[in-house]
């Protein structure tokens, strides 16, 4: 018997079976009330101090253990624990496994977390980590200064408000109401917050610029000192040779003159080095006339202005020479005399009051005299 071949049916789109496509469902977010622990849009300001200078390192110990998968550092030498916004630790492997597809609840407290919200640990105590995080957030929002208030009382009330809100966040007291007050504050003071942030950034840039100028000035001064030492060595060799030649010729007087001239030249070079101001500092100093100083300020270098006298007949300057009963003088000699309980030093006639009177007179006796130059 011959086999009858199977009848071929025409292919159509309805007869072709395609593999079922997997359907991805968005994870169900756990809601526990407005601004609660399980709310996705809740407080997600995490810690983790980021230091550009690399001086603050990430905290880790040999006893680190992941509380989720229980992996320790003995099993995985490269174990790295990160801190969540709810301040629970997890290793990087568990974070990748749980939060790669999107927001998921925390395995320990149920709060909805995202992968990007985890940060490294800086401090050993997580309470300190939380306080640093909260205070950094509050400093970014409540950044008003004393100049923004009309009185000290208003400024004190503002500081008290900031501390009350910070206390609530640190101790989980009325979190929804506290977050609502912070949001309302941000809305009402948006322009002032941005202006103060911009001002703080400018001050930070100025400080960084000053530090860079001081660093360059130190380098320039070190190069100047090295060059001065090289010149001194060359001059010492030259003077030594000239003195030797003069002594060889029997010119003792000439040898002494050479030594005297060399000492004087060395003194002048030392004074010039002491007064040397690096060019970087000169360029950073304000030009003449840019900054005005009071005539009584040590930085004043303008024309002589005599100290005003209210009534010359009463001689108000006479009170300058009257020493006070006591002075805060912490020089070693004065401290030794003051602590001389047995009177060994005073036995020779030493009087501390006379010493202070001499110091006061030497300090004020030329205040009313116009300088010669």
Q: Residue 201: what pLDDT?
A: 78
CA 271 to CA 275: how far, in whole Å? 6
Between 279 and 193, the higher pLDDT residue: 193
Average pLDDT estimate for 164-177: 89
Average pLDDT, the chain: 73
| Of 173, 176, 154, 152, the residue nearest 164 (C-alpha) | 173
pLDDT band at 160 (very low <50, low <70, confident <90, very high): very high
| Neighbouring-strand partners of residue 112 | 105
Q: Is the pLDDT of residue 273 over 80?
A: no
Average pLDDT estimate for 87-102: 88
pTM of the model: 0.45
Which segments within 60-146 are labelled E, that is strand? 81-83, 89-91, 104-105, 112-113, 119-120
Q: Is the pLDDT of residue 105 over 80?
A: yes
CA 89 to CA 58: how far, in whole Å? 14
Task: Please check whether residue 56 is in contact with residue 45, taking contact to mean a CB–CB distance below 8 angstroms.
Answer: no
Strand pairing category for 119-120 and 112-113: unpaired
pLDDT band at 277 (very low <50, low <70, confident <90, very high): low
Average pLDDT estimate for 213-226: 80
pLDDT band at 164 (very low <50, low <70, confident <90, very high): very high
Helices 190-248 and 252-274 cross at an angle (nearest 10°) of: 180
Strand pairing category for 89-91 and 104-105: unpaired
Q: Residue 163: what pLDDT?
A: 92
Task: Please check whether residue 68 is in contact with residue 94, taking contact to mean a CB–CB distance below 8 angstroms.
Answer: yes
Q: Residue 39: what pLDDT?
A: 42
Average pLDDT estimate for 289-308: 55
Q: Residue 150: what pLDDT?
A: 85
| Of 144, 131, 160, 130, the residue nearest 194 (C-alpha) | 144
- CA distance readout (Å), 79 to 70, 93, 213, 311: 11, 9, 42, 81
**Among 227-241, 302-316, 353-367, where is mean pLDDT lowest?**
302-316
Between 14 and 174, the higher pLDDT residue: 174
Q: Residue 372: what pLDDT?
A: 56
Strand pairing category for 112-113 and 81-83: unpaired
**Among 49-53, 54-58, 77-81, where is mean pLDDT lowest?**
49-53
Q: Residue 167: what pLDDT?
A: 92
Q: The tokens 């840019």 sit on which residue? A: 290
Residue 117, phi then psi, degrees to nearest 5? -90, 0
Residues 329-360 pLDDT 10s: 666 666 666 666 566 666 666 676 777 777 77
CA 212 to CA 218: how far, in whole Å? 10
| Neighbouring-strand partners of residue 119 | 83
Between 10 and 48, the higher pLDDT residue: 48
Residues 4-45 pLDDT 10s: 555 544 444 444 444 444 443 433 333 333 344 444 433 444
CA 297 to CA 2: how far, in whole Å? 124
Query: What does the DSSP 8-state code read for residue 72?
Result: B
Half-sphere exposure of 60 (CA within 13 A, CB side): 16
Residues 136-158 pLDDT 10s: 888 888 988 888 888 888 889 99
- CA distance readout (Å), 244 to 65, 76, 257: 78, 75, 13
Sheet holding 81-83, edge to edge: 89-91, 81-83, 119-120
Q: Residue 36: what pLDDT?
A: 41
CA 57 to chain centre: 16
Task: Please check whether residue 169 is in contact with residue 178, taking contact to mean a CB–CB distance below 8 angstroms.
Answer: yes
Burial of 118 (0-12, 13-18, 19+ CB in 10 A): buried
**Among 50-54, 213-217, 242-246, 322-326, where is mean pLDDT lowest?**
50-54
- Cβ within 8 Å of residue 127, ≥6 positions away: none
Q: The tokens 């009350």 sit on which residue? A: 164
Between 209 and 168, the higher pLDDT residue: 168
């Amino acid at each position: 018997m011959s086999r009858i071949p199977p009848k071929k049916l025409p292919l159509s789109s309805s007869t072709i079976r395609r593999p079922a496509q997997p359907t991805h469902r968005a994870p169900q977010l756990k809601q526990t009330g407005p601004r609660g622990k399980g709310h996705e849009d809740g407080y997600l300001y995490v810690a983790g101090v980021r230091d550009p200078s690399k001086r603050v390192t990430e905290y880790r110990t040999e006893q680190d253990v992941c509380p989720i998968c229980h992996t320790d550092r003995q099993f995985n030498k490269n174990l790295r624990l990160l801190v969540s916004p709810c301040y629970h630790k997890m290793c990087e492997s568990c974070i990748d496994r749980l939060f790669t597809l999107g927001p998921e609840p925390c395995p320990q407290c149920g709060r909805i977390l995202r992968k990007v919200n985890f940060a490294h640990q800086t401090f050993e105590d997580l309470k300190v980590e939380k306080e640093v995080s909260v205070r950094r957030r509050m400093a970014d929002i409540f950044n008003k200064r004393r100049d923004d208030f009309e009185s000290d009382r208003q400024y004190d009330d503002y500081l008290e408000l900031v501390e009350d809100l910070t206390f609530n966040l640190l101790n989980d007291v009325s979190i929804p109401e506290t977050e609502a007050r912070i949001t309302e504050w941000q809305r009402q003071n948006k322009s002032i917050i941005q202006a103060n942030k911009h001002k703080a950034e400018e001050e930070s840039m100025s400080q960084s610029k000053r530090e860079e100028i001081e660093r360059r000035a130190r380098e320039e001064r070190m190069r100047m000192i090295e060059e001065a030492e090289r010149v001194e060595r060359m001059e010492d060799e030259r003077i030594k040779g000239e003195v030797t030649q003069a002594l060889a010729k029997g010119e003792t007087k000439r040898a002494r003159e050479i030594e005297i001239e060399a000492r004087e030249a060395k003194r002048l070079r030392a004074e010039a080095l002491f007064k040397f101001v690096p060019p970087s500092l000169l360029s950073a100093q304000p030009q003449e006339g840019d900054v005005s100083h009071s005539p009584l300020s040590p930085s004043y270098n303008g024309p002589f202005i005599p100290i005003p006298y209210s009534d010359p007949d009463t001689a108000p300057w006479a009170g300058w020479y009257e020493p006070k009963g006591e002075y805060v003088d912490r020089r070693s000699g004065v401290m030794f005399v003051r602590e001389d309980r047995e009177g060994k030093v005073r036995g020779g006639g030493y009087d501390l009051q006379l010493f202070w009177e001499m110091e006061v007179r030497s300090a004020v006796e030329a205040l009313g005299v116009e300088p010669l130059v």
